[in-house]
Amino acid sequence: MTPSWEAGADLVVVGTGVAGLTAAITARELGLRVLVVTKAGAGDGNTPWAQGGVAVVLPGQHEPGDSVRRHVADTLVAGAGLCEEAAVAAILADGPAAVQRLLRGGARFDTEEDGRLARGREGGHSTFRVVHAGGDATGAEVERALLATLRDGRIPVLEQHIAVEALRTPAGEVAGLLVLDAHGVPGAVRAPAVLLATGGVGQLYQATSNPEVATGDGLALAVRAGAALADVEFVQFHPTVLFTGAGAHGRRPLVTEAVRGEGAVLVDHTGARVMAGVHPLADLAPRDVVAAAITRRMVATGADHVLLDATRLGGEAFRRRFPTVHAACRAAGVDPAVDPIPVAPAAHFACGGVVTTVDGRASVTGLYAAGEVARTGLHGANRLASNSLLEGLVVGARAARAVAADLAAGRLADPRTAEPAELPAAPVVERAALQRAMSRYAAIGRDASGLVEAESVLDAHSVHRPLRTHQEVEDAALAMVARALVAAALERTETRGCHVRTDFPRTEEAWRRSLPIRLDAAGRLAFFETVALGGAA
């Protein structure tokens, strides 16, 4: 099926979360013609669900002794040896200016009585440096402010349009995008630059903190366009997602780590502390450590959840500081003032993704990525809490500037040379079967036999078909990403960060490297040691 309409732009941005909106706004400020595409409504992505805040060291407003260098050090520790230090330093150094731009754009963050921004503390942070809004509604406020700026700038947004395939020139450069509307009608956007800001992969699993749109579309599109992925085996499971029953599937309410930052502690059903003696930071250890400790305790006790005791915070104080969490708890019949909160780990954040520089450039000319879909080298094997909104703000802006520079230098293709667009065909796996297999065999604890079984399930339920509907595009993306994740998890025969191999429990120095993966000449996923990874260039 050929496109029924065409449009043109200098840059097409896919996604309306923090990274995509920041990129679109910055690109328009630089004078570029921008078109934004999103498969749902403009505010329906993952950003509005972010609770904790933005980790940043603001001049004149930071804790005594804190610094960007200390923030870098905390990030490197959390990343378990796979962060790229130059990328971490570059992104975090840009954080203060990025947050100040957001504030000038109308974002309203919580303040102390003296007018300074209030700061919380989360797992892995050595001090209080997480600025927040609405108590625990930071993502919603960031999204509100950026959408308002986008609309004030009259930047066009194609809602209910899913990105299917990159348009490419005979030389393989990306030069536009093929999209489908909600009725399956295809259209083509010709543009010398495509920026993916499509978010994560939470829907690979039965239980996740992510909304229904987090199906890995951008990763699959990038792979089919010839780009490389890396670190896809590292999926961070948030330790404390509200447990609402063993049969609950899909998006589950998050209980932000900032609750533990204010003094709440994890206990099992006997009242014994879960994190006692596990890590020097105890309940504020990095997320991979806490999630693994909770999982071990659940296995040891036969329970399907543990408890987060926040009663010492005081009922009214808890409600004021964490209104979103409080409302979710009360909806589930839990009163945090007197009841410990039932929690369990659930899929949360993809630490890897499309290999890019810190300026968002991917390994294919004309293709850029920012936010959770991108692997910049910031997160390594495990993300430091609240670095994600910061990354979206920083890399979204840097990617827009990179597009403008590449256009001015004549480094991008003429979109008129893009080859005719046709809807692709790809392997599609029945979603429920995929999610069951990934949750059972490729979640927190993995071993070779289970990962091989996951591959078998994917093979058994795979059907090659044209991608003519939103669901088929999503299911094909989930199938592609699941295969890449399982392949990388099998290849990495060690435990590191949020990749836990129960048959290889040690961390091995020989595996202190990333595994770039892309399609080979035969169209199969394969590892390539020669792909340049991330960095500050």
Q: To 10 degrees, the CA torsion angle through 86, 87, 93, 98?
A: 170
Task: Name the helix (H) or strand (E) containing 168.
Answer: strand 162-168
Q: Are 506 and 494 in contact (CB under 8 A)?
A: yes
How far apart are the C-alpha atoms of 21 and 142, rounded to whole Å?
Answer: 10
| CB-neighbour burial class of residue 315 (10 A; exposed 0-12, middle 13-18, buried 19+) | middle
Q: Three-class SS string for 420-443?
A: CCCCCEEEEECHHHHHHHHHHHCC
Largest Cα separation within the chain, whole Å, is 67
Partner residues linked to 174 by β-bridges: 168
- The neighbour count for residue 385, using CB atoms within 10 Å, is 27
The one catalytic residue in 190, 287, 297, 483 is 287
Instruction: Kindly state the tokens that stand for 528.
Output: 């390539």
How far apart are the C-alpha atoms of 373 and 232, rounded to whole Å?
Answer: 10
> Helix 95-104 crosses helix 388-408 at what angle (to 10 degrees)?
90
Is residue 431 annotated as a catalytic residue, yes or no? no
How far apart are the C-alpha atoms of 517 and 482, rounded to whole Å?
Answer: 13
Instruction: Kindly state the tokens that stand for 243.
Output: 């447990």
Q: Are 453 and 216 in contact (CB under 8 A)?
A: no
* Sheet strands (E) in 283-429: 306-309, 341-350, 353-355, 367-369, 374-375, 425-429
How far apart are the C-alpha atoms of 243 and 171, rounded to whole Å?
Answer: 51
Q: Distance of CA 534 to CAs 10, 161, 374, Å?
A: 24, 30, 10
How far apart are the C-alpha atoms of 107 and 110, rounded to whole Å?
Answer: 10
Taking the alpha carbons of 76, 78, 82, 86 in that order, is the dihedral positive or negative? negative
The one-letter amino acid at 180: L
Point out the residues that are catalytic.
287
